[in-house]
Amino acid sequence: MNKYKKIGLTALAGSLVATSAFAGELGVSGSASINMEHTNGGAANKGKTFSMGNSVVFSGSGELDNGMTVSLSFELDQNDDSTTAGAAYSGGPFDGHSVSVSSDAMGTLKLNGEGGASSASSIDGSAAGDIWDTFDGARGTVVTATAITDSATGDNSIFYTLPSMVDGLGVNVSYQPQGSGRESGTGWGVSYTGIDGLTAKYAVSDEVGSTTALSGDQTVWNVSYAIGPVTATASNADFDVETAANDQEMSSYAISYTVSDEISITYGQEDITEGGTSKVDAEYSALSASYTSGGMTISAAMKEGENVDHGTATNQDFEYWTLGASFAF
């Protein structure tokens, strides 16, 4: 390559960098946790065991010359996607990454890689979600209905939030193309926070899986109301599957009481119904207490389950407790 070509390419590269770069901010956050757990009854008696979790999130944002904001997020974690208690973690270390473009006039367009959310999965189908999060590895088959867990998650998806037109009202739509071993999903959702203390969310999605057992319509809603130190929450997740025997519905409620700035107590209950004439409802209840000081939280919780296999197996009742500490930065 001659001297003039080298100079020309160098100048071109410099001009591209100069025109594409913009001022932005980069932040790093994360968390780490350790839990000691014990299970009595059920198909397995795990005894006392330790589990650990960690997560690091890199996030950045910046404003373009036209006033639009570009944001990105990239998360590394311990792969908490196991759906069976005690099973080994699977997948890669990337739990979530996304890029979004937003403005007041256009709303927010978000492109999700791994770990994205659809309109339906962005709503917590469990009213007492924070309780279940303390039970390491047991959420998939013990707490959440299988079809709802396996529904379109939002990986490699598009999530669009419309610009706000009414104070407190939010509207979104989502689309996830079908991939290898994953369902496709098209959905929409609404949320309302226009009344002090009230948060209401509702979403519907049409999902197509690799089989009729994983194809159908999903409807999720979650309503919470806070008054003083008390917050009451109710939720429902209903999956109407093309294979009727695989229909599932999860309903739950929770009551939280904030004793002080540092101490809170939560009680929650869930009922899961599955299709099939011979199946009975699975029932779960849990009580948790936590103490927070700065970025550290110490928590203890106890959970009980009945008919966890919906009457299709023996040893279906269990008791589960955990004591843990988490740190956020």
Q: Please state, in angstroms and rounded to a whole number, the distance separating the CA atoms of residues 58 and 55.
A: 10
- The Cβ of residue 45 has, within 10 Å, a number of other Cβ atoms equal to 11
Question: pLDDT (tens digit, 0 to 9) for every residue of the chain, 329 residues total?
Answer: 544 434 343 443 444 344 445 567 889 999 898 888 887 776 555 566 777 778 899 999 999 988 899 999 988 876 544 444 344 444 456 667 889 999 989 999 999 887 777 888 788 777 766 565 544 433 333 334 444 444 455 567 899 999 988 899 999 999 988 765 566 788 999 999 999 999 999 999 888 776 766 678 889 999 999 999 999 999 998 888 777 667 888 888 999 999 999 999 999 988 888 776 667 788 888 899 999 999 999 999 888 888 777 665 656 777 888 888 989 98
Residue with tokens 């189908």: 125
Give pLDDT tens digits for 287-308. Answer: 999 999 999 999 998 888 887 7
Lookup: tokens for 227: 């008054």
Q: Please state, in angstroms and rounded to a whole number, the distance separating the CA atoms of residues 174 and 171.
A: 11
Contact 119, 173 (CB under 8 A): yes
pLDDT at 82: 43
- Which residue type, as a one-letter code, is found at position 104? D
Contact 148, 139 (CB under 8 A): no
pLDDT at 149: 45
**pTM for the whole structure:** 0.78
pLDDT at 123: 82
Give pLDDT tens digits for 116-130. Answer: 778 887 887 777 665
pLDDT at 155: 65
How does strand 107-112 pair with strand 94-103? antiparallel
Lookup: tokens for 295: 């970025």
pLDDT at 11: 43
Domains of the chain in sequence order: 40-328 (2.40.160.10)
Picking from 156, 137, 148, the residue whose alpha carbon sits closest to that of residue 96 is 156
Task: Collapse the DSSP code of 100 into the 3-class scheme (helix H, G, I; strand E, B; otherwise coil) and give the result.
Answer: strand
Give residues with Cβ within 8 angstroms of 233, minimum separation 6.
Answer: 127, 128, 222, 223, 224, 225, 253, 254, 255, 256
Q: Please state, in angstroms and rounded to a whole number, the distance separating the CA atoms of residues 112 and 136.
A: 25
